[in-house]
Amino acid sequence: MNKKIKASAAIVAAFALSFGAFATTSASAATTVKIAYQGPLTGPEAQTGTDSIRGVKLALKLYNATNPAVKVELFNGGDDQGDDAQGGTVGAGIAADDAVIGVLTAYSGPTIAALPSYKAKGIAIVSPSATRACLTDPTNACYGAPVFHRIVSNDDLQGPALARVATNGVKDPTVFIVDDQSSYSVGLTAAVKKALGTAYEAGDSAAKGAVSDFSATIAKIKQTKSNVVIYTGYYADGAKFLKQLRDKGYKGVYAAGDGVLNSQFPKLAGKKQSEGARLTAPTVPLDVASPKIYAAFKKEFKAEPGVYSTESFDATNIFLQAIKAGKTTRADMLAYLNSSSFSYKNTAGITIKFQASGDLSGSGLMNQFVVKSGTIKLNGKA
């Protein structure tokens, strides 16, 4: 081997060695972090959690398929069954995993119960569906700042919308409200009552927890001759209530908020009994928001998206956008979301920004839906 060849070989070897060192350094720099979904994955409200976590999983799959430097895994163990009492325990378990740098929370009550753990550890929340107004009210004990953010409108907007939708076209409405005493239900009920004004004359009834027999409540409704009934709880009991209400001959309007907006609601209530039910929610169906992502969802899960699938997909992508920007610690993630320069373009192409309270900037969105032939249909803005 002559000197030129030896020199060339030495250069190649040195280059190879340096490239190998660079490759090793890059590989060692690649890390794995986690985000968590806290919501109902088992129990009577499981369909809502299933619809939402599928949006999370799709976003993660699309991201990880790009071979990013930082891989993102889904924390396993965020099932709170939509139960306020379980929220604190589940939240503490999530916060104890140091790899978790962000969490999506589904229901308002469990979110409020988990807040002490998330605040103590400085873990950012981006909720796709927790609507109780107190979470972003600085004067309230359940105020979630600086960790809580949501990408949906709150019940200060949903309450008046639900009141309008429920009484639309009804001559001299008298409204009876039924709530389930959950944190979400209590907050929405208060907002609806305030919006109804003189239309709220009939009365209300608390149906705490899982109720099997609504006979006493239905008797009150008939006694007051209410021509509008508003249910402010969740879909499993809301469906049972509506079925019994219709089976006992009630002909008036039945309306409910986003807790009832679920594909299982008409099935549980019955096709005939659920016909014409009026619903409100700050959600956009995935097929409306993005036909492309809708097709990917159906291909991945062999199922239709459901309530808050769109928002869960977007909330996950907010975290992923931050991770792409190098925010891979809890502190950096939280600072990123709380920065005045933060913005995110959602699936429908709308730019999202957060107020200091964690609420969306801007006027917000509320849609109305109606049950037709056993299916929930979008019926325009509420």
Mean pLDDT of 79-90: 97
User: Which two structure tokens, joined as six digits, stand for 139?
Assistant: 């004067």
Neighbours of 299 (CB within 10 A): 9
Angle (nearest 5°) at CA 153 between 358 and 181: 95
Q: CA geometry: angle at 126 spanning 121 and 128, to 5°?
A: 140
Q: Is the confidence at residue 202, as pLDDT, over 90?
A: no
pLDDT tens, residue by residue, 93-128? 999 999 999 999 999 999 999 999 999 999 999 999
pLDDT of residue 199: 78
Please report the pLDDT score of residue 16 as a whole number. Answer: 38
Confidence of residue 203 (pLDDT cuts 50, 70, 90): confident
What architecture is the 156-281+367-381 domain classified under in CATH? Answer: 3-Layer(aba) Sandwich (3.40)
3-state secondary structure of 130: coil
User: Taking 80 as the threshold, does the pLDDT of residue 19 lie above it?
Assistant: no
What pLDDT sits at residue 260? Answer: 97
How far is the C-alpha of 309 from the C-alpha of 131, rounded, in Å? 15
Q: State pLDDT tens for residues 217-260.
A: 999 999 999 999 999 999 999 999 999 999 999 999 999 999 99
Q: Work out the widest C-alpha separation in the chain, in whole angstroms.
A: 107
Residue 210: pLDDT band with limits 50, 70, 90: confident
Q: CATH topology of 29-154+285-349 equal to that of 156-281+367-381?
A: yes
Residue 178 β-bridge partners: 205, 231
Which CATH superfamily, name and number, covers 29-154+285-349?
Answer: Response regulator (3.40.50.2300)
Q: What is the pLDDT of residue 1?
A: 44
Q: How confident is the model over 127-146, as pLDDT tens digits?
A: 999 999 999 999 999 999 99
- Give how far Cα 373 sits from Cα of 268, 271, 272, 273, 367, Å: 14, 6, 8, 10, 20
Q: What is the pLDDT of residue 37?
A: 98
Instruction: Report pLDDT digits (tens) over 352-382.
Output: 999 999 999 987 899 999 999 999 999 999 9
Indicate if the pLDDT at residue 14 is higher than 60. Answer: no
Dist CA 141 CA 144 (whole Å): 9
Mean per-residue pLDDT of the chain: 91
Residue pLDDT, tens place only, 291-339: 999 999 999 999 999 999 999 999 999 999 999 999 999 999 999 999 9
Distance CA 231, CA 147 (A): 30
Question: What is the percent of the chain where pLDDT is above 70?
Answer: 92
Tokens of 4: 């030129």
Domain spans in the chain, listed from the N-terminal domain onward? 29-154+285-349, 156-281+367-381
